[in-house]
A and B are shown apart, each in its own frame.
Chain A
Amino acid sequence: MNPLAAVFFRDMRIAVRVGGGALMGVLFFLAVITLVPFAIGPDLALLRRIGPAILWLGALLASLLALDRLFAGDHEDGSLDLILLGRAPLELVVIAKALAHWVTTGLPLVIASPVLGLFLNLEPLAIAAVMLTLLVGTPALTFIGLVGAALAVMLRRGGLLLPVLVLPLAIPVLIFGVSAADAAIVGPVPFGTPLAILCALTLISLVVGPVAAAAALRQGSE
């Protein structure tokens, strides 16, 4: 089998097995969204207005949750050394691992978002908009978080450090994700403009994230 595909399916299997954190992110997402009405009151009009922002914030926090396990497990059982020694380019292996991570933690968030959107009294159109922006934007969160995960492995500790390093870098994704969703509902700007920029951010992070993460892993192995 192609080594990249092997890494991808291996990570998928590890994530859905006992002890893997595949559905933990969705549970956390659900918990955060449930907390919001308790914090701001059950005002349906207000919830409808800030709903896309809350969904995005919850998805951002939930995608951070499982991030530090991205390389940590491989580092502990030594398979990271094998990956580093292997013939497949490290950048591509890192992309394969990130994709597996996104499919097991990011994609469930996207799939769960319509149900949570109903809790927040969103219109069907708004739910579709939020779902589409999450589908486009969550890969960017994973690829930005990749850098932080690789640095955390390199530093040998850094579970607490990871969110502090990653969150400022995720600000553009949050801004354009929420403004695209808002644009579809009320906004003065057309939906396409912020969505196109969100796609651009995802593509940029697809290049920058794996290169930086691979550099960090190489430096850490010395």
Chain B
Amino acid sequence: MNTQTSAQALAWIDLANPTRFLTLVERVLPWLVAACVGTFAVGLVQAFFAPDDYQQGATVKIMFIHVPSAWLAMFCWGLMSVAALGTLVWRHPLADVAAKVAAPIGAGFTFLCLITGSLWGRPMWGTYWVWDARLTSVLVLFLMYLGLIALWRTVEDPSRAGRAAAILTLVGAINLPIIKFSVDWWNTLHQPASVFRLGGPTIDASILAPLLWMALAFTLLFLTLHLAAMRNEILRRRVRTLRLMQAHAARGA
């Protein structure tokens, strides 16, 4: 396979569709940023005035960051799986861009979830880390994000790395529920319910409303970051293609 011509051909395909995508991003991004800032303002104010928990005191407010991060950590893998299907099935030129830039963002939210969880665990459980089922499965998710990022960083050619990452993402999507199930099993076997859990099946409306606002704000933040990162990645790939063509011309083709 002649990588030079395929890279050039890819650049020409890239120019047709991503240009329209870039103009779309330029138009949508300011509105998205404004909506994100607005919902964060509402969510943070509501979270600030939300009542303290009668048992946990003010530490319950960590939840307003912790739960949306956990939600996005899972949402991001779902988005990458859809993008992986886009890469393998439809060969959409933007799909592997979307998958590539989603991985670090997803890892970031997973890390935020782990950090806030362990800060919350210190006053509640008396320790920063418990091998609780949920914590453990989020840690495994974090490991898988890091493996995926390592894979992206191993290979120079973006389309080859994209297809490899797509396969790994889909295998991971099949395996994540299995891992979650087995960690739950392992946990109940080794450690009978000794850990204090956030009370009851129902959450009071005074806490639920700010939580939903914060979840919306975090989702908007994710979309904003993702679109901006996709734009940057497209521009980065164009620069790379231009450099390749320049080097090719300089060699005296």
Contact = CB atoms under 8 A, between A and B. Distances in A.
Contacts of A13: none
B171 A147 contact: yes
Contacts of A188: 189
A154 interface: yes
Interface string B159-182: 011011001101110110011011
Interface string A184-215: 00011100001001000100100010001001
B67 interface: no
A171 B182 contact: yes
Given A155-B151, A168-B143, A175-B186, A219 B179 contact: no
B150 A222 contact: no
Given A155-B164, A161-B154, A219-B167, A168 B185 contact: no
A157 B168 CA distance: 16
Contacts of A108: none
Interface residues of A, number: 32
A194 B178 CA distance: 14
B31 to A, nearest CB: 38
Interface string B130-164: 00000000001001101100110011000011011
Contacts of A161: 147, 150-151, 154
B183 interface: yes
Interface string A130-165: 000000000000000001000100111110010011
Given A155-B161, A179-B186, A212 B167 contact: yes
B205 interface: no
A176 B182 CA distance: 7
A2 B189 CA distance: 47
26 contacts: A147-B167, A147-B168, A151-B151, A154-B160, A154-B164, A155-B151, A155-B161, A161-B147, A164-B146, A164-B150, A165-B150, A168-B147, A169-B171, A171-B182, A172-B179, A172-B181, A175-B183, A176-B182, A179-B185, A194-B185, A212-B167, A212-B171, A219-B88, A219-B163, A220-B163, A220-B164
Interface of A: 147, 151, 154-158, 161, 164-165, 167-169, 171-172, 175-176, 179, 187-189, 194, 197, 201, 204, 208, 212, 215-216, 219-220, 222
